[in-house]
Structure formats: structure tokens, C-alpha cells
Amino acid sequence: MELGERRISWAARAMPVLTAIGARFDEDKPLDGLRIAACLHVTAETAVLMGALRAGGARIALAASNPLSTQDDVAEALGAYDISVFARAGVDRGTYYRHIHEALDISPDIVLDDGCDLVNILHTERTDLLSQVSGGTEATTTGVIRLRQMTSEGALKFPVVAVNDTRTKRMFDNRYGTGQSTLDGIMRATNTMLAGKTVVVAGFGYCGRGVAERAKGLGARVVVTEIDPVKALDAALQGYAVMGMGPAAEIGDVFITVTGNRDVIRGEHLAVMKDGAILANAGHFDVEIDVRALDELGVEVHRGVRPSTDEYVLADGRRLLLLAEGRLVNLTAAEGHPAAVMDLSFSAQALAVAWLARERGTLVPGVHDVPGEIDVEVARLKLAANGMEIDTLTADQEEYLHSWRYGS
Amino acid sequence: MELGERRISWAARAMPVLTAIGARFDEDKPLDGLRIAACLHVTAETAVLMGALRAGGARIALAASNPLSTQDDVAEALGAYDISVFARAGVDRGTYYRHIHEALDISPDIVLDDGCDLVNILHTERTDLLSQVSGGTEATTTGVIRLRQMTSEGALKFPVVAVNDTRTKRMFDNRYGTGQSTLDGIMRATNTMLAGKTVVVAGFGYCGRGVAERAKGLGARVVVTEIDPVKALDAALQGYAVMGMGPAAEIGDVFITVTGNRDVIRGEHLAVMKDGAILANAGHFDVEIDVRALDELGVEVHRGVRPSTDEYVLADGRRLLLLAEGRLVNLTAAEGHPAAVMDLSFSAQALAVAWLARERGTLVPGVHDVPGEIDVEVARLKLAANGMEIDTLTADQEEYLHSWRYGS
Amino acid sequence: MELGERRISWAARAMPVLTAIGARFDEDKPLDGLRIAACLHVTAETAVLMGALRAGGARIALAASNPLSTQDDVAEALGAYDISVFARAGVDRGTYYRHIHEALDISPDIVLDDGCDLVNILHTERTDLLSQVSGGTEATTTGVIRLRQMTSEGALKFPVVAVNDTRTKRMFDNRYGTGQSTLDGIMRATNTMLAGKTVVVAGFGYCGRGVAERAKGLGARVVVTEIDPVKALDAALQGYAVMGMGPAAEIGDVFITVTGNRDVIRGEHLAVMKDGAILANAGHFDVEIDVRALDELGVEVHRGVRPSTDEYVLADGRRLLLLAEGRLVNLTAAEGHPAAVMDLSFSAQALAVAWLARERGTLVPGVHDVPGEIDVEVARLKLAANGMEIDTLTADQEEYLHSWRYGS
Amino acid sequence: MELGERRISWAARAMPVLTAIGARFDEDKPLDGLRIAACLHVTAETAVLMGALRAGGARIALAASNPLSTQDDVAEALGAYDISVFARAGVDRGTYYRHIHEALDISPDIVLDDGCDLVNILHTERTDLLSQVSGGTEATTTGVIRLRQMTSEGALKFPVVAVNDTRTKRMFDNRYGTGQSTLDGIMRATNTMLAGKTVVVAGFGYCGRGVAERAKGLGARVVVTEIDPVKALDAALQGYAVMGMGPAAEIGDVFITVTGNRDVIRGEHLAVMKDGAILANAGHFDVEIDVRALDELGVEVHRGVRPSTDEYVLADGRRLLLLAEGRLVNLTAAEGHPAAVMDLSFSAQALAVAWLARERGTLVPGVHDVPGEIDVEVARLKLAANGMEIDTLTADQEEYLHSWRYGS
């Protein structure tokens, strides 16, 4: 078996739900005769998704949504699966856009996008293809924002499902995926022992909760900072210490930002930190730790004292350790979400494509939520893949719930 | 100090948020000149709420929403606070309704209800008072259901705030209040050691999650049953064993139902349980454990082998222990929610009354949600009462969040 | 069934190990023909122990080791089991000692003691019986100290097994029994919500560890104070906050002493505590909280504001709540160890008696440890009672371990 | 700064206790005039130890205890510290022994050994140096076994402190160091998500307990297997599922052996495992998983499907993943103990050397335990390094404890 195939096979084994959906698609052919143009990261996990859609009967053309993430051996292996791939690691901007055009040449019924570039080209340079397109999916928050703007201007010409925003993703990706991979990244970068350490987690949304749970589970005392009193109170009632970043900065050994906001750790905080404090970001953008303030405070910088670790020496001799230059520590210092988590997101995406195929012509242009039953279906399949059976309602129970909901 | 006053004082010390709101009301007099008719459980915690509203300038008449829960010494002490109380423990049905009428005689501007009896009388027997009423609050789910029916029939004549449904209540009351008091009830009833036991929690909503966490925290192995695959998967990812009630019935030492549905533990489950299994319900109604099935299976019943504990001997000699006759174990075998939890709910209620007073004339008749800022305010005050300070957004951060939300 | 019998039956169901030992004794009759004089608390759990020894073939005379703990209905029920009981609740000192003499009249082969009073009388007033006695057990630390003194003076005339000091007891009684029952006592006394509270645990021995784990499991932030740096470091590495009682006194909501030392909470600490702080002791003697200092600081004392709760009002208005007058909170405010824990201790005691019978004549006078195999046997039976099977060594593994231990 | 120096500096920052001891040694010169020959792994952490001993006044010659672990850049940097180093990565057997001889040429007063090779050469080939040696330390269990054999044969000519066996090491190294690094290794090797997985931990000694805690802390359901009923019961009471390896093999997703015994996972267990099961060993020797049985069952083996991961395909298509070829997963797939843990062990070693120096002439030949006060001192310094202050006994408390211990 070649390396590309090996990688896909490895990913597939951690993606039993998507594999099961692929098997079902192979029988039911819900995408029979449809053409799909996709613009996604060309990785082993994506390959498993493509395989499922192909099994469903679709013809597929795939371009890369980012040339840096393309795994060339996977791209090559996908060719053997009868999928047209237009992607190569490290190509220039021109080639990147040409690849998207080449994928669009399939004249898609359905499009899969990751950042809205393909949809944008469709609406500007390839408007001739628009009438054929009956729907699409978008996998990023940024892409969804662009789509909503298009919608508000009346520009979007077909329905797009925001596959980023499923209940499953929020509950599972964010909490369990980010939680584990963030701590994993910090251990790989620093090999620091977390037991007995004070870990400051900035932000107590789904991601922050996951990070805090894993830090606590590794033996740390966890301090939570928040700006929302309700979330802060929730953290306190879960047994975390809650305070502002000011006092937290003085006692923390490890700092993890995961707020979605900028400048959460600022110069005033850096100024009072302990020698050896570790700074990591698990929020999407690299704005949460004020790296410029750190640059100004550092009289000396040693890059790469450990993998993904830069040491800033302050004027008074204290040393602060910045991981991954303030970028996502779980992607940079570890390997991002485990495939088991991608299994949930990509399964929702596969089911969303089948739903789009089924509902062709009934959906208005605009951004649509993933239907709730897809979340339920993905969770159901995941439980089954793990060998867990759960109860179903009896007829009496159905009736009881129904009567209760509508009053007596 | 008399016993009634002592009780109120004890409750007040565990209710620092409501106390703080009372102090603020005393300064700002947001209810100045308003008349309030309330129909609530006449307990020490309610007395603290009444005190806060009184401090805000309201004149108050209070009837009992249930004669069984009236604490006569508290009722007496409230008289001394210049609040008219129409309540006595153990009165008959006629007196109960007469008391509500007497409270309504105040001709209220605002009404507080707990089950919709007072609002119902207002709309049927005291319609002359309706024009004076500018709004109300309702504290129970059942009451809210009745109000929604009235609304859909066009019968409700003023706006009512559903104080039962705040984010704070769902997050805190249900999870932390029910969680602790349920386990507390089981320990008081049976003095059983939970470490090493298998505890089966049926239902993984907010309450179930709280019960599962506390059982785990006391050293039990926790099994979760659910009918919603998404919640079931969440339980599995939090490390709980997940299965149907069938297999769970065979391995459980303690069973706790908290689903909101009927017949969660049925004859088929009782039939396979271990000798000595303990059955407790933490759901609102006593329908979750099928007590009739247990009655049929039991060849002998020993009532009260321990406080709130009945022993059912089955034909083969196995003994099952039913707590609190299948009714709410945290209320029957323990003391219900700790006052610290009521502090949150009643504080939201006090702020909702002030909001109603402020918005008089601007709200349409019907059921209204508690405004989100009240949740935030209650949480903020609770944190302050616990000496916890949290961060606030800088101007840059405000702008960043704003720009992000609306795209770049 | 009478109340006494009902109580014994209830206790027996939570004591499957002792019950299993009783059944085995009933077959093997390891105590056939032996006479036992016992001086123990006359409770339902003790009755189960007596039943097991009786089943083993012993004739038994039982006196109370403390007239306050005697359950008269249990004493009566035991009579029906063919056990001579000399005990009644609330008797005076003279009757107490007469009862011990009456029990000794059986002319025992083996004695069971709980505090060394019976053994003491044997060696002073009933020396005629000494030659018949082949051994005894002692269940308390205090009793063991007295026995060691007797041994060092050459006074002790037979071997006594210190059943208090088994590995099982230290690991299980102290950690899981004290842990749960202490928190149980605090909840019964105060109904305080522990989630989000700061609980200060003084002492991190086996008991303290158990208390800290249960407090954490109920959602509290736990602070540990210690005087042993190794234990303190262990607490820190388990994620607890570690500090001295000075700073802890300022931030704690609930204080639990479990050190075995005096004056752990002193006037200087009481002086800085928060309004509403709760003080509880889980150590054996009531010396850990300096109650006299509290008496001096309190300008007003309200006894019994809650069950087992006294409120001390300080000069500045702060109120401190002392539980159980500083005595063992798990015994006074709750019900002490769950029977499941007594099952382990009393099973070790039953097996120790059988071991004494078997080894008659081979043991020198003095204090003997419980043989390690008794711990193993008790644990093995407990696992079996809970339906847990564990592995045994293969022949290869036995050999490997053996060769490893003695070098290659 | 050169790489070697950089590495040492990185290690030193995570070793504040050893650094503090070095600073104290620098003032007190407890090793003034002494010559030390050491045979240890030549790593950055060892360099920090050497630095502390050098600061104490010793002259030092260092040979490698294993040529594979020598970090050449560290060896070079140590030369600059005025320490004679005889070590180079990858040397042959002859050179290895020559290096030890060269280190011995210093004619040591004290020796530090790690596996007993240096001590062995001293007693066989360099007996002329024996009269000068006043004591030594040995850091491995294997070495201690060899030394005990020498002692029993009367061959050992000086006292040796078994620095491997301190209470601190057992409590901290084993539990927190092995716990974290084992899970770290599994995540680096497989990137598997642990939340929701069933992790089987074989063995519940100090190491197994640490591994179980970390697995639970990462969201796994943990199953414990044991052969000692007391440890098994302890695991059960901590909420773990306890069973034999037979049933565990059928339900586990990840298996971690840490028993100190051989063949813990055998062919019969491999035969029933789930597709995708992960096998890892955290015990000292690579005998715990029966790799030969796996070789026989595997019809295909893919080496290196992930870092440190080999995939065995069984006849029925199931795939088992063996990590690190069954060797210590925390050393092979991760980086072994965090330096923070080595800080404790090496600090105990430094203090043991100072103790040997102080007690010269008073200790008999043979294996000696590390004095208890060294454990206490190391823990005390570690707490101080983490900014934690703890209580000390008052005079009254000292007296109370004393009087209690010796009776009243």
C-alpha cells in the first residue's frame, strides 16, 4: 500500500461514522448522477469524506482550499479513487485560483467550500455555471460571514448549509477536540509537568471549558478568567478559581487564551508574570496574546529553545515562553483535532450534502442551518460505532411528553 | 429573636445577592408606591424576597401558594415587616382560596404567582382589578403552560415574566442545586456508601448532568441512560458509561431518574435488579419509577425501614428499596435546594419585578422571557458576593468583537 | 419482625462480607467450643459480628463498651440469638462495670475489647480467669496504647491483635468512610451548597485525603493545610491549593480539621474569618478547633440555629458557625461510617478471632498486628460480594516475580 | 550560548529545588575536598546535578552509564564547568568500560552509580581504590538488587544509599511523572482522542494509579486489572471499573500495562480485542505485552504507520496497534519524566551525597535507605520553589503529639 493510501486508511479507521455513512451511500446512491465541486484542505480526513460522497454516486472535482495543507501523496491516492484532484502543496496564488477554476469546470450541482473562495468565483467569474448549482456547504465561520453579507445584499444565488455550526460540532469538536489537542500541544512543546501547576484559562466558552477540564484532569489547579458573569459563575460553581487576568497573571505557570478576542494577555500582564511562565493560544486568531508587547518587553529572544517555543528574556532576567508564536497551539505544536473529532464534523457534512440533494428546489437562497436531525443521526451512528445502545421512547412515553408539552 | 425571625435571618445569610438587591432597592425605591399581590410558598427564603420588594417601596399582600409549605412562624414574623400575610399551615381548600382573594384586595399593580392560581382568579372572579395590573411573574413550568394557553386564546390581559426559565436557573439551580440535594437525600435516607457503587442516572439534561457529576464526585461509577443520541454521546465523551435501562438495571446499585418522562424504570427493569438496589426519583413528577409495577412485584412491603425508605420484597427474596415513594427525593428526604441556589432564582424574580415596574405600559400581554441582562446582573452580584472580580472588555476589545461579528 | 431484628437485618444487608464469613463459619465451626467475652458498642453492626462468631460455634457474653451507644432493641434481639447480653442504654458507672464482670463470668477463651476496660479488669480484679484466656482483640487506638504500656511493663498475659490497624481499615475506613460521612454531616447540619465554595481541609493523612476528595467531588475549591512537607507536596500535585492556616482562614467558607492534633484552628485564625464561615472537626478528639478561643471571641452565642449548629456572633458582627461543638461531625451530625465500611473492619475482626483460635498457644503475650492475609481475604470477599472478579498469577508470572525479587 | 549550555539551562529552570541546593552547597561547601566518580546518563538533568555537587566543593569525574543516552553537546558543555567527562554517544563496549576506568582514576571518596557497573569494577578490577571510598549512591532497582546480593555475600566494602527508593520518588515520580508521560506518549504516537474511550490499566501500584488518574482526567472510562485484592478494592472504591484481563480485553480501546510482571496481555487476550485496539507498556521491562504472541497472530505487520506505532493485521482483518514495540511508551514515544520530576529525584541524590560526606566513617557497609529527613527537605524546598508556605507545629502541638504517642 502506498503512503497516501496508508494515510487515508489510518484516518478512516478513526472515522467509523463517516465510513458507515459511506457504506450506506454505496447502497442508496443518494447522490446518483450529481456533480460536486469541492474546495477543501486536501488531507487524509477529507479523502475519507470524498470517498463517502463518491460512494453515494457523485462525480467529484476537488481543489485545495489552502496550498499549505495539501498532502500530495493523499492527492495522488485520490486520483485512483476516480476523483479529479487539482491540488499540489506549495503552489503560488495564480495556480491556486486556476485549480479552483478547473474544479468548477465539472459544472457542479452541489459545491463544498471552506472559506468561500469557490463560491465567490462562481458568483463573479463563472456566473454561467450558477443556474446548474442547487446548493452548497460552507465549513468555516469566516466563510459563513461572507455568505451572510452576500445574502443581505441579495447576491447569493443558491442555498448554503453552514456545516460549521452544528450542535455536535460546538459540543464535541470545541470541547473535547480542542481540549485534548491544546494540552497535547503544550506537552509536546515544553514537556512541562502539569500536575501541581497553576494553569490560567482565559475564556470559558465551549473551547475554554474543554481546555479547563483537560488541564484539571492532568492535575493542574485551574484559574478561569471571563468577561461574561454568567460563564464566570458557572466556572466558579464547577470548582475553578475565578478572577481577572491582573491577579491571575501573578500566579499562573501556564496561560492559555481561548476567548475569540484580542489582547487578552497584554503588556501589563506580561510585566508581572513569574519567571518561566508559558504562554499559549488556543483561539482561532493569533491576536489573543499581545505578541508586540512581548517583543517590546523582551531584551533578548531565543527562538526554538524547544519545539514551537520561543524564550523572551525580560530586562529583570525573567523568562517568558511563547508557544507557536501565539498561533493555535493545538495545530502548530500538536496535530490539531484527533480524527475521531473530524469524524463528527465530516459526517454532518456528508449528510448535509445528501439533504441538499434530497431537498433540491425546495430551499431558498441564503445561509441554512444544518437540520437538527443530522446532529441526532451523527450522534446515533457514533454511539453505534462505539457499541453503545441507548433507549428509545415507548408509545406511552411519546404520548406523555406530547401531552405535557402542550398542557393538560 | 423569635424563631421566625431567626429562620429568615438564617436564610438571608445564604442569600447575599438578594440581600444586596434589597439594599439597592432601599436606596433607589424602584417600586415606590406600587402594590404587589403575591401567591407564593410562605417560607424563610420567600420572606427574604418579600423584604427586598418592601425595601423597594412596594406595599405587599402575600397568600400561600400551598398550605402545606407555610412556615407559620415565618408568616408571623413577616407581619412585623409591614407585609400583610394571608397564610396558615394546613388550611382547607376554601380558606386557601379566601386567602388569595384577601391578598388581591390590595388591588395590585404587579402580581407574583406560583402555579397560576392567583392570575386565574383575577381573570375569572376579580376582573374588576384587571385594569390596575400592569404585569406579573410566574415561577413554575406548569403555570407558564397555563399562561401560554390563555395567551393563545387571547385571554391573558397583562404581560407575565416567566421567571422559571432564566439561563441562570437552568444552569445553576438544575445542575448544582438538584445535583447536591439529590445525593444528599439518598445519603440521609439510606446512609449508603457511594464510593465504589454503580449509580445509574436516567436522563442527561441539566439536572441529570448535575446528579451524575455529584455521584461521580462521591466515588461512584456512573451509568447514564438517555433517549437523545446527542446527549448520550456527550455523556460518553465525559467518561460515563452509556447504555439502555435494560442492561443498566442488571448492574446498578442505585438508580436515579431525572428525565421528565414516565415509566423510565418499569416492571421489566425491576424484575432483573440486584438485591438491595435503591430507587430514587429526582424528576418533578412521581411518574418516572413505575410504582404500581413495584407494588405488583412486591410480595411484602416494609414501610419506613429507614427514613423515607420502603422495602419491597420480591417473590425470589430480592429486596428493592424505594425512596420517598418515588417522589422528588431531594425535597422529601433532604431539604430541597440550598438557599444559595434560591438566592439566584429569587434575585432574578426581584429584578424582574423592578423591570416590570420600569417598563409599565410598554409590554404587550403574554408570556415574556426574563431579559438576558437580568441573568448577567444576578451572576455579577453573586460573583461579587463571593469576592470574585472578573475582567471587563477594553475599548479595543469591544470594537474587535463588534467588527468580527459583522464581518470585515 | 421486631425493630431490633429489623435493624440487624438492615445492617446485615450492607455487610455482605461479614455475612459470607458467618456462613463459612457456620460450616467450618472454627470457634467450636470456645467461650468469648466481648466488650463492644451494642449496635446493629456489632450484632452482625456476634452472629458470625456464634455461627462459628462460640458461646458469647457481650457487655457494652459505652452505655450511651447501646441500642436496647438490638440488645433484646441478640438475646433471642442465644447470646448473653449485659447492656442497657444510659446505665450508671457502677452498672457499667458490673456488666463487664457479668460478661467475664463466662470464663472466656478469647476476649474482644474496645478501649481496654475488659482486659484491664481481667488483669486486676479477675486474675483467676487469666489462665483460661488464649488471646484477644482490641479495636481502638487508645486501647492499643494502654496494651503496649502493659506489654512494656511485662503485665500483659496473653496475645492481643490490634484490629484497629489493618491496611484495609486505614485505606478504606479512613479515606472513604470518613470522607463521605464528614461531608454528609456538614450538609445535614447546614444544608449549605458546596459547589463553588472554598473548603479548607486541615491535614492530608488518609482521612484528610478522603475529605478533600469528597469536597472536590461536590464542586468545592479545596485548600489543604499540612505540617508535613511530603504530604503537602502530594496535595499540591493532586491539584489542591496548599497554604498555611493563616492565609487559608481569610478565604475559607468551610473549615474541616482532621489532623489528630490540637488547636489547629486558633483565635488568630478565627479573628480573620469571613462572615458565615462554617467550622467542623473530623478528627477523633474535640481539640482541633480551639472552642475556648471561640467562646471568648463570641459576644453572643445562638445554640442550635440548625441541627448540630451553634452560631457565634463576634464583636464586629461576623458570625461563625460551629458544628457539633467541635466533636466528630460525621458521628454527631450524620450517622458515622456507612455499614459498608464497618463490614470491612468487623470482617477483619471476625477473621482475627478465628486466627487466634487456630494459633492458640503459639503466640507470645503482647500486641500483634493483624496478619496481612486477613486484609487480602477481606478485600477478596468484598470484591466477590460486589461481583468483581480479578486476575490471579499464572505459574510463569509467579516464577518471574520470584526470580526478579531475588535477582538474576 | 551553545546548544549544550542552552539545554542545561532549560533543564535547570524546571529544577528549582536542585538549583537551590546547588546555591546552598556553594555557600556551605559540604563536599569540600572530596573526589566523586559518577557513572550516570550524561544528560542535561544530570549536568544540573553535577553542577550542584561541583558547587559543593567536590572534584568530579563522570562516565556514561549508557552510551545511547549521552548528549554529546551536554558532555562538552560540562567540560567547561571543570568536570572531567568520559562519555560519547554510541561508543562500543570496550570504550564504555574504559570510560568508567578513566573516571575511577580520580580515586574517589564517593561514587554515584546507575546500574552497579562502576561499583562492580571497583570491587573486582580496582580494589586498590576501595580503601579510599567512604560511600556511594545507586539509582536503579536493578543496581540495588546486585548490591544486596553483594552484601549478603559479604562482598560490598562500603555503604551505598539506595536513592531509587525514596518516599518522594515513589509518591511523585511514579504517580505524576509516569502518569503524564505515558498518556503523552500515547497521544504523540497515535493522536487518538481519549475522551469517551475505554482505557484498560493493568496494575494499580503507584505508577498504575498515576496512569489511571491521567486517563480519567482526559475523559476516558478506566478499567483496572489487578492481582492484589486490596489494590483492586482500592481501585473500585475510587470509582474505576475492576475486572480480569479476559473481559477487559473485549471492551478496551487502549491498553496500558504497568505491573512489573510478564505476559499480562497474552495471546488469549489479543485474540478477542476490538479492531483498532492500542497496546502500550509503561512497565520497566518489555515483557508485559506478549509481543511474540502478537507476532504469531499477525498475518501482516506494518511498521511505523505512525511514530512508534506498528500495526498488526490479524487473520480476520482486525488490526492491533503496538506502541514502542512493547517498550516503555513514555520514554520511547514521549520524552520520559518531565524535568520537574527529575528535580525531586536528583535533589534527593545531591542531599544523599552530602549526608554520606557528613556521616563518613559512621555507616556500616551495605545498602542504606535514604534518611527520611531528606525526603522532607526535598519536599520542603519544592513547596518553597512553588511559592507555597505551610504551617509548622506550635510548642503546644509538639507536646500534644508527643504525649499522645507515648500514652497518657
D88-107 pLDDT tens trace: 988 999 999 999 999 999 99
Q: Does B191 touch chain C (CB under 8 A)?
A: yes
Interface mutation vs chain A, best among B141, B147, B233, B288, most A CBs within 10 Å = B233
Task: Please report residues of B whose CB lies closer than 8 A to that of D231.
Answer: none
Distance of CA B375 to the CA centre of its chain: 16
Instruction: Give the gap in angstroms from C-alpha A218 to the nearest C-alpha of chain D.
Output: 6
The share of chain A scoring above pLDDT 70, in percent, equals 98
How many structural domains does chain B have?
2
Rounded to the nearest integer, the mean pLDDT of chain A is 93
Which pLDDT does position C321 carry in this prediction?
A: 97
Domain assignment present for residue A404? The answer is no
Least confidently predicted of B13-17, C167-171, D46-50, D218-222: C167-171
Which pLDDT does position A353 carry in this prediction?
A: 97
Query: Does the pLDDT of residue B391 top 60, yes or no?
Result: yes
- Average pLDDT on C136-140 reads 92
Domain assignment present for residue C394? The answer is no
Interface mutation vs chain A, best among B404, B405, B408, most A CBs within 10 Å = B404
Contacts by residues D314-321 (CB-CB < 8 Å, ≥ 24 positions apart): D314/D270, D317/D275, D318/D273, D318/D274, D318/D275, D318/D276, D319/A13, D319/D275, D319/D276, D320/D270, D320/D273, D320/D276, D320/D277, D320/D279, D320/D294, D321/D190, D321/D276, D321/D277, D321/D278, D321/D279
| Residues A18 and A159 both lie in one domain | yes
| Residues B239 and B367 both lie in one domain | no
The last residue of one of the domains, among D332, D352, D377, is D332
ipTM: 0.91
- Average pLDDT on A231-252 reads 97
Q: Does B386 touch chain C (CB under 8 A)?
A: yes
Domain that holds residue B228: 178-332
Interface contact flag, D196 B241, Cβ < 8 Å: no
Q: Does C275 touch chain B (CB under 8 A)?
A: yes
Q: What share of chain B is helix, strand, coil (3-state, %, to 5)?
A: 50, 20, 35
The secondary structure element, H or E, covering residue C408 is none
Residue with cell 409591614: B82
Amino acid at the residue A45: E
Q: What is the pLDDT of residues B105-132, one digit of tens each?
A: 999 999 999 989 999 999 999 999 999 9
Instruction: Give the gap in angstroms from C-alpha D179 to the nearest C-alpha of chain B.
Output: 18
Q: Provide the pairing of β-strand C298-306 with C309-314.
A: antiparallel
Q: What is the pLDDT of residues C252-288, one digit of tens each?
A: 999 999 998 999 999 999 999 999 999 999 988 899 9
Domain assignment present for residue C403? The answer is no
D281 assigned to a ligand binding site: no
Distance between CA atoms of residues D87 and D75, nearest Å: 7
| Residues B251 and B160 both lie in one domain | no
Query: Does the pLDDT of residue C402 top 80, yes or no?
Result: no
| Residues D367 and D222 both lie in one domain | no
Phi and psi, residue A331, nearest 5°: -90, -35
What does the DSSP 8-state code read for residue C138? E
Domain assignment present for residue D392? The answer is no
A407 Rama class: left (phi>0) / alpha (psi -120 to 50) / beta? left
Task: Please report residues of D whose CB lies closer than 8 A to that of A192.
Answer: 14, 338, 340
**Up-side HSE of residue C129: CA atoms within 13 Å toward CB?**
25
Query: Does the pLDDT of residue C406 top 70, yes or no?
Result: no
D326 three-state secondary structure? helix
Task: Please report residues of A whose CB lies closer than 8 A to that of D179.
Answer: 195, 219
Which pLDDT does position B406 carry in this prediction?
A: 42
* Residue B182 vs residues B196, B201, B215, B252: alpha-carbon distances, Å: 18, 11, 9, 17
Domain assignment present for residue C53? The answer is yes
- Average pLDDT on C304-311 reads 92
Interface mutation vs chain D, best among C391, C397, C403, most D CBs within 10 Å = C391
- Average pLDDT on D267-273 reads 97
C-alpha cell at B398: 469591544
Query: Does the pLDDT of residue A1 top 70, yes or no?
Result: no
Confidence of residue B19 (pLDDT cuts 50, 70, 90): very high
Interface mutation vs chain A, best among D3, D45, D187, D389, most A CBs within 10 Å = D187
Domain assignment present for residue A391? The answer is no
Distance between CA atoms of residues A160 and A369, nearest Å: 9
Task: Please report residues of B whose CB lies closer than 8 A to that of C319.
Answer: 13
Task: Please report residues of D whose CB lies closer than 8 A to that of C179.
Answer: none
Task: Please report residues of D whose CB lies closer than 8 A to that of A302.
Answer: 1, 6
What does the DSSP 8-state code read for residue A92? -
Q: For residues D168 and A298, which has the higher predicted lDDT (pLDDT)?
A: A298
D23 assigned to a ligand binding site: no
User: Residue D396's closest chain C neighbor by CA?
Assistant: C262
Which pLDDT does position A364 carry in this prediction?
A: 95
Distance between CA atoms of residues B106 and A262, nearest Å: 54
Q: Which residue from D221, D233, D237 is facing B241, i.e. has the nearest CB?
A: D221
Task: Please report residues of D whose CB lies closer than 8 A to that of B241.
Answer: 221, 241
D198 assigned to a ligand binding site: no
Query: Does the pLDDT of residue A90 top 50, yes or no?
Result: yes
Which pLDDT does position A403 carry in this prediction?
A: 67
Instruction: Give the gap in angstroms from C-alpha D85 to the nearest C-alpha of chain C.
Output: 31
User: Residue A233's closest chain C neighbor by CA?
Assistant: C196
| Residues B79 and B209 both lie in one domain | no
| Residues B157 and B190 both lie in one domain | no
User: Residue A405's closest chain B neighbor by CA?
Assistant: B145
D226 assigned to a ligand binding site: yes
Q: What is the pLDDT of residues C288-297, one digit of tens each?
A: 999 999 999 9
Interface contact flag, B238 D219, Cβ < 8 Å: yes
Distance between CA atoms of residues A143 and A145, nearest Å: 5
Domain assignment present for residue C82? The answer is yes
- Average pLDDT on A203-209 reads 94
Confidence of residue D276 (pLDDT cuts 50, 70, 90): very high
Confidence of residue A408 (pLDDT cuts 50, 70, 90): very low
| Residues D306 and D192 both lie in one domain | yes
β-pair partners for B328 = B281
pTM, 2 dp: 0.93
Interface contact flag, B240 D221, Cβ < 8 Å: yes
User: Residue D242's closest chain B neighbor by CA?
Assistant: B196
What does the DSSP 8-state code read for residue C173? I
CATH number, domain containing residue B357: 3.40.50.1480
Q: Provide the pairing of β-strand A84-86 with D241-242.
A: unpaired
Which pLDDT does position B110 carry in this prediction?
A: 98
Contact present, B223 and B198 (Cβ < 8 Å): yes
| Residues B317 and B194 both lie in one domain | yes
Which pLDDT does position B263 carry in this prediction?
A: 96
Distance between CA atoms of residues C96 and C100, nearest Å: 7
Q: Which residue from A188, A218, A386 is facing D214, i.e. has the nearest CB?
A: A218
D210 assigned to a ligand binding site: no
Which pLDDT does position A277 carry in this prediction?
A: 97
User: Residue D235's closest chain B neighbor by CA?
Assistant: B196
C368 assigned to a ligand binding site: no
Q: Which residue from B230, B394, B397 is facing A168, i.e. has the nearest CB?
A: B230
| Residues C281 and C264 both lie in one domain | yes
Q: Does D275 touch chain C (CB under 8 A)?
A: no
Domain assignment present for residue B397? The answer is no
Distance between CA atoms of residues C156 and D284, nearest Å: 48
Confidence of residue D1 (pLDDT cuts 50, 70, 90): low
Q: For residues A266 and C401, which has the higher predicted lDDT (pLDDT)?
A: A266
The share of chain C scoring above pLDDT 90, in percent, equals 78
As a dihedral over the C-alpha atoms of residue D364, residue D366, residue D371, residue D374, rounded to 10 degrees, the angle is 110
| Residues B165 and B186 both lie in one domain | no
Q: Which residue from B146, B226, B397 is facing A261, i.e. has the nearest CB?
A: B397
Q: Which residue from A228, A262, A397 is facing B396, i.e. has the nearest CB?
A: A262
Instruction: Give the gap in angstroms from C-alpha B161 to the nearest C-alpha of chain C.
Output: 27
Distance between CA atoms of residues A277 and D140, nearest Å: 33
Instruction: Give the gap in angstroms from C-alpha D30 to the nearest C-alpha of chain C.
Output: 24
| Residues A156 and A8 both lie in one domain | yes
If we measure between CA atoms, which residue out of B271, B214, B265, B197 comes closest to residue C14? B197
Q: For residues D164 and C220, which has the higher predicted lDDT (pLDDT)?
A: C220
C140 assigned to a ligand binding site: yes
D386 assigned to a ligand binding site: no
Q: Which residue from D219, D237, D238 is facing B239, i.e. has the nearest CB?
A: D219
Q: What is the pLDDT of residues C29-48, one digit of tens each?
A: 999 999 999 999 999 999 99
CATH number, domain containing residue C196: 3.40.50.720
Confidence of residue B1 (pLDDT cuts 50, 70, 90): low
Q: Does B382 touch chain A (CB under 8 A)?
A: yes
| Residues D194 and D293 both lie in one domain | yes
Distance between CA atoms of residues A47 and A342, nearest Å: 12
